C-alpha cells in the first residue's frame, strides 16, 4: 500500500519538473515585477539584488536536487558551500594570486581554473559525503540521515578550522583574493554598475540553464528524473540508483562550489561559520520556490536577494531577516508546497 501511494503523489513534488513555468502569463508577471523593482530601487540596487540572489540560487539548487531525489534535507549543504569558498581561496593563494588581475586574458584563465578546480573538488567532496554519511542510511528512518547531515556540517566546519596543511584557518575571517577587479564599473545614467556583479549574474544564470538542459536532455538527467519519480521502478528499468544519486550530489555540490567562488570574488572574505547563515537563507529559498523543483529554487534565491536588498532600500535593513522569514511564512500559508511546487493533497 505505502509504496504505490508514495509513487502516486511523488511525480508532482519531486520530478525536478519545470513544466508549467514557461507560460506567457507567468513570464509577464515576472517581467512586470522585475520592471517595478528596477524602477523602485534603481539599477545599482537592482544589480546588487540579482548578485546576492544568484549566489543564494546556486546554493538553493543543491538543497532542492538532493531533496528531490532522496527526500533528505541536506543540512550540511550550507557548509559544503562554505568549504567551496575556502577551496577557491586555497586555489588562488596557492597560485600566488592575491589581488586584482587587470589583464583580461590572464583573468579569464585564472577564473576558469578556479571554477573548474573548486567545482570538481567540491563535487567530489559531495559525492564522498553521500557515500559515507547518507548511503548507509538510505533505508533507515528519515531522522537518522538528518542527524548525520548535522554531524557532517560540524565536521566540515571543524575541518576547515583545524586540519592542516590545506585547511587550518581557525575560526577567523580569512581574506579571499578578489582577483576580479572590484573597481571596474559600467556607467548607466548616474549609476555605476560593478562589472563583477554582472559577471556573477551571467555565470550563475548560464550554470542554471546548463543544469536544466542536463536534467532535461541527457541520459543521466533522465535517470535522475526517473529515480526521483520512483526509485524502485527506475532500478527495475536498469537505472543505476547509487550512481545516479552520487551524480546528483556531484551536481549540487559543484553548483555550491560555483557559489563559493563567486562569493569570494564578491565579498573578499570567508569564515568557517559562513555555512549556517548562507545555508539557512538558501534552504529558505528552496522551500519558498517549492523544494524539489530546480527552477523554483533559483526563483526562490532571487526572491530572497530582492527582499534583502529591498529591505535596505526601504530603510528596513535592521529587520531584513525577519522580513525574509515573514514572507516565507506567508507564502507557505497560501501555497504550502512553495511557489512552483505543485499542490498535492497529502504530503508527509
Partner 1 sequence: MKFARVGAAIAAAAIVVAACGGTANSGKTVKVGITLPLSGSSLASAGPARDGALLAIKEANAAGTVKGYTIEPVIKDHAVNGQYDAQQGAKDMTALVSDPAVVAVVGPFNSAVAKVQIPISNEAGLAQCSPANTNPDLTKGDAGKELRAKQPDKINYVRVATTDDIQGPAVAQYAFQDLGLKNVAIIDDLTVYGKGIADAFTAEFEKLGGKVVGREGADPKTTDFLPILTKFKDLNPDSVFYGGVTANGGGLVRKQMPQAGLGDLPYLGGDGIQDQNGGVQGSFINIAGPAAENSFSSVAAIHDIPDAAAFAEKYTAEYKADPGAYSASGYACMQIFIKALADAAAKGDITREAVRAGVTSGASFDTVLGPVTFDEVGDTSQKIISLYKTDMTAADGKGDWIFDKQIDYGAS
Note whether 312 binds partner 1 by CB under 8 A.
Answer: yes
Residue among 88, 153, 157, 284 that touches partner 1 (CB under 8 A): 157
Contact 335, 294 (CB under 8 A): no
Note whether 327 binds partner 1 by CB under 8 A.
Answer: no
Query: Which regions of 137-218 does DSSP assign to beta strands (E)?
Result: 174-175, 185-188, 191-194
Note whether 175 binds partner 1 by CB under 8 A.
Answer: yes
Between strands 269-270 and 174-175, the pairing is: antiparallel
Compute the least distance from the CB of residue 305 to partner 1, in Å: 9
Note whether 273 binds partner 1 by CB under 8 A.
Answer: yes
Burial 249-287 (b: 16+ CB within 10 A, else e): bbbbbbbbbbbbbbbbbbeebbbbebbeebbebbbbbbb
Which three cell numbers mark 191?
A: 549609476
Note whether 218 binds partner 1 by CB under 8 A.
Answer: no
Choose between 224 and 313: whose C-beta lies nearer to partner 1.
Answer: 313
Compute the least distance from the CB of residue 110 to partner 1, in Å: 19
Note whether 183 binds partner 1 by CB under 8 A.
Answer: yes
Residue among 7, 12, 93, 192 that touches partner 1 (CB under 8 A): 192
Chain-centre distance of CA 255, in angstroms? 6
Contact 285, 332 (CB under 8 A): no
| Three-state secondary structure call for residue 33 | helix
Note whether 318 binds partner 1 by CB under 8 A.
Answer: yes
Alpha helix (H) residue ranges in 71-103: 77-94
Note whether 93 binds partner 1 by CB under 8 A.
Answer: no
Note whether 49 binds partner 1 by CB under 8 A.
Answer: yes
Options 123-131, 135-143, 308-316, 331-339: segment touching partner 1 (CB under 8 A) = 308-316
Compute the least distance from the CB of residue 76 to partner 1, in Å: 16
Which three cell numbers mark 323?
A: 522580513
Query: Which regions of the chain does DSSP assign to beta strands (E)?
Result: 174-175, 185-188, 191-194, 269-270
Choose between 184 and 214: whose C-beta lies nearer to partner 1.
Answer: 184
Compute the least distance from the CB of residue 188 to partner 1, in Å: 13
* Binding residues for partner 1 (CB under 8 A): 42, 44-45, 48-49, 51-52, 157, 170-175, 182-183, 185, 192, 194, 196, 263, 267-269, 271-274, 276-277, 308-309, 311-313, 315, 317-318, 320-321
Amino acid at each position: 500500500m505505502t509504496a504505490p501511494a508514495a509513487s502516486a503523489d511523488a511525480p508532482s513534488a519531486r520530478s525536478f519538473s519545470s513544466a508549467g513555468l514557461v507560460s506567457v502569463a507567468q513570464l509577464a508577471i515576472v517581467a512586470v515585477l522585475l520592471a517595478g523593482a528596477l524602477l523602485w530601487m534603481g539599477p545599482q540596487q537592482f544589480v546588487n539584488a540579482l548578485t546576492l540572489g544568484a549566489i543564494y540560487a546556486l546554493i538553493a539548487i543543491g538543497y532542492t536536487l538532493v531533496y528531490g531525489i532522496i527526500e533528505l534535507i541536506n543540512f550540511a549543504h550550507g557548509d559544503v558551500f562554505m568549504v567551496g569558498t575556502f577551496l577557491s581561496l586555497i586555489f588562488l593563494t596557492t597560485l600566488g594570486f592575491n589581488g586584482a588581475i587587470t589583464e583580461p586574458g590572464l583573468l579569464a584563465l585564472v577564473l576558469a581554473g578556479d571554477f573548474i578546480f573548486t567545482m570538481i573538488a567540491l563535487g567530489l567532496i559531495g559525492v564522498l559525503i553521500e557515500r559515507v554519511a547518507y548511503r548507509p542510511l538510505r533505508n533507515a528512518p528519515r531522522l537518522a540521515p538528518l542527524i548525520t547531515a548535522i554531524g557532517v556540517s560540524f565536521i566540515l566546519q571543524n575541518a576547515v578550522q583545524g586540519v592542516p596543511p590545506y585547511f587550518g584557518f581557525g575560526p577567523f575571517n580569512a581574506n579571499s583574493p578578489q582577483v576580479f577587479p572590484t573597481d571596474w564599473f559600467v556607467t548607466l545614467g548616474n549609476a555605476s554598475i560593478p562589472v563583477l556583479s554582472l559577471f556573477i549574474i551571467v555565470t550563475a544564470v548560464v550554470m542554471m540553464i546548463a543544469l536544466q538542459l542536463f536534467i532535461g536532455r541527457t541520459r543521466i538527467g533522465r535517470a535522475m528524473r526517473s529515480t526521483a519519480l520512483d526509485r524502485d521502478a527506475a532500478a527495475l528499468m536498469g537505472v543505476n540508483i547509487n550512481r545516479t544519486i552520487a551524480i546528483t550530489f556531484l551536481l549540487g555540490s559543484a553548483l555550491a562550489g560555483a557559489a563559493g567562488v563567486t562569493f569570494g570574488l564578491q565579498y573578499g572574505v570567508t569564515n568557517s561559520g559562513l555555512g549556517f547563515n548562507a545555508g539557512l537563507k538558501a534552504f529558505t529559498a528552496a522551500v519558498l520556490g517549492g523544494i524539489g523543483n530546480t527552477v523554483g529554487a533559483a526563483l526562490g534565491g532571487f526572491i530572497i536577494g530582492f527582499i534583502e536588498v529591498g529591505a535596505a532600500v526601504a530603510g528596513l535593513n535592521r529587520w531584513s531577516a525577519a522580513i525574509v522569514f515573514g514572507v516565507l511564512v506567508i507564502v507557505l500559508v497560501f501555497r504550502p508546497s512553495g511557489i512552483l511546487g505543485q499542490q498535492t493533497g497529502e504530503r508527509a
